[in-house]
Amino acid sequence: MTLIKPTGYRNLLGSVENTEKAIKYVKDMFQENLSAQLALLRVTAPMVVLKGTGINDDLNSVERPVSFPILDMGDAPAEVVHSLAKWKRLKLAEMAVDPGRGIYTDMNALRPDEELDNLHSIYVDQWDWEKVITPEQRNIAFLKQTVRRIYESIKVTENKVYVEFPQIKPQLPEEIYFIHAEQLRQLYPDLSPKERENKIVHQYGAVFVIGIGMPLGDGQPHDGRAADYDDWSTPNDEGFYGLNGDILLWNPVLESAFEVSSMGIRVDPEALRRQLEMRGQQERSKLFFHDRLLRGELPATIGGGIGQSRLCMFLLRKAHIGEIQSSIWPESMRRECAEAGIELV
């Protein structure tokens, strides 16, 4: 358990009650901006899916989902979702959504293997979004255009928060900076991926790191990604691999890079076959989701998740995600937070 306790930390909103009001304000404002920027319709989403269908998000392919038998279905095993990365694509196919439009939803998940700290909880809440695109839009220019739209939604929300709560000053730069993970590695070859992120995000304030999942020049990926949702192995027109990445902001409270979104253009049949082979997971091609994708029955899409508690934590200048959401924390962490002036809800 790693806990950062900022020196002299205090709740800028003055009370838990004001914090709760501000959380609602941020969530209402941001999802309105996001849906307008990306032409997204809000839909209802599941919290559980059937095991063995390939629909659940595998994250880094090592995390264990919460599972349980369904009594009235002959004890068929179900899993609590990690995220809805693949479910959204199935939903778009079911709805026959045209290119240029998409969906978003309130995603609530459980990730019991998370290491609990200021940023990570076993409870995850995201705006999961997915948008239908044309095959011609599967390129780095379209990815960057979409990132800029999401970043604009964040900036507008930050400015609105300042109007409503003037003690919280805007700090985001006008533009988000783009860099590929391999360029970042070459820039700081002696640092770990997280240390590289801290360096580049401290310099630019807001950064999108491209190419998460493909091994870099040193043989290691910048970070893990499952093989079956983001396309991290297709060569792009900038001379590197990958059509995905992470949005990182400089967190002035924790004084570190702060991930608010993981997103990307999704795998097409060719990329899925390639990435399953690279990971030695070819047997997954027989699963329901993967089989439909390989048969060409699912649309080309771009999508991702934007952390709801994460974004509120950043915009409201909180030191711990537990100030935003109610979750389970070790008693020792609760005690240390209380001593540091961090009020966990």
Q: Helix crossing, 16-38 with 140-164: angle to 10°?
A: 140
Q: In 250-262, which positions are buried (b, 16+ CB within 10 angstroms) versus exposed (e)? A: bbebbebbbbbbb
Q: Quick one: tokens of 44? A: 């209802």
- Look up 262 and say whether it is catalytic: yes
Q: Quick one: tokens of 286? A: 């027989």
**Using an 8 Å Cβ cutoff, are 161 and 168 in contact?**
yes
Under the banding of pLDDT at 50, 70 and 90, the label for residue 85 is confident
Catalytic one among 152, 259, 291, 336? 259
The pLDDT of residue 182 is above 90: yes
Catalytic one among 35, 121, 126, 275? 126
- Look up 126 and say whether it is catalytic: yes
pLDDT mean across residues, the chain: 94
- What pLDDT is attached to residue 2? 82
Amino acid present at 234: T
What mean pLDDT do residues 248-261 have?
96
The pLDDT of residue 195 is above 90: yes
- Look up 32 and say whether it is catalytic: no
Q: Is beta strand 102-110 parallel, antiparallel or unpaired with respect to 123-132?
A: antiparallel
Amino acid present at 47: M
Answer with the residue of higher pLDDT: 128 or 56.
128
Catalytic one among 35, 121, 261, 262? 262
What mean pLDDT do residues 286-299 have?
95
- pTM for this model (two decimals): 0.94
pLDDT 10s digits, 198-214: 999 999 999 999 999 99
Catalytic one among 89, 111, 266, 284? 111
What mean pLDDT do residues 46-56 have?
87
- What pLDDT is attached to residue 57? 77
- Give the CA diameter of the chain: 57
What mean pLDDT do residues 160-179 have?
97
The pLDDT of residue 82 is above 80: yes
- What pLDDT is attached to residue 8? 92
> What Cα–Cα distance (Å) separates residue 8 from each residue in 11, 209, 249, 328?
10, 32, 22, 25
Under the banding of pLDDT at 50, 70 and 90, the label for residue 220 is very high
Under the banding of pLDDT at 50, 70 and 90, the label for residue 83 is confident
- Look up 309 and say whether it is catalytic: no
List, in sequence order, the alpha helices (H) in 39-123. 87-95
- Look up 57 and say whether it is catalytic: yes
**Using an 8 Å Cβ cutoff, are 269 and 296 in contact?**
yes
Percent of the chain with pLDDT over 70: 99
Q: Tell which CATH classification among 3.40.190.10, 3.40.1280.10, 2.40.10.10, 3.30.930.10 matches the domain 16-339.
A: 3.30.930.10
- What pLDDT is attached to residue 333? 93
Q: State the Rg of the chain over Cα.
A: 20
Catalytic one among 31, 35, 57, 323? 57
CB atoms within 10 A of CB 32: 14
53-62, 155-164, 235-244: range with lowest mean pLDDT: 53-62
- Look up 246 and say whether it is catalytic: yes
Under the banding of pLDDT at 50, 70 and 90, the label for residue 177 is very high
The pLDDT of residue 223 is above 90: yes
Under the banding of pLDDT at 50, 70 and 90, the label for residue 1 is low
Q: Which residues pair with 231 in a beta bridge?
A: none
Q: Which residues pair with 129 in a beta bridge?
A: 104, 304
Catalytic one among 125, 246, 268, 323? 246
- What pLDDT is attached to residue 238? 87
What mean pLDDT do residues 41-64 have?
84
> What are phi and psi for residue 12, nearest 5 degrees?
-65, -20
Which among 229, 203, 210 is positioned nearest to 146, based on CA atoms? 210
Q: Quote the CA–CA distance of 22 and 281 in Å, as a whole number.
A: 44
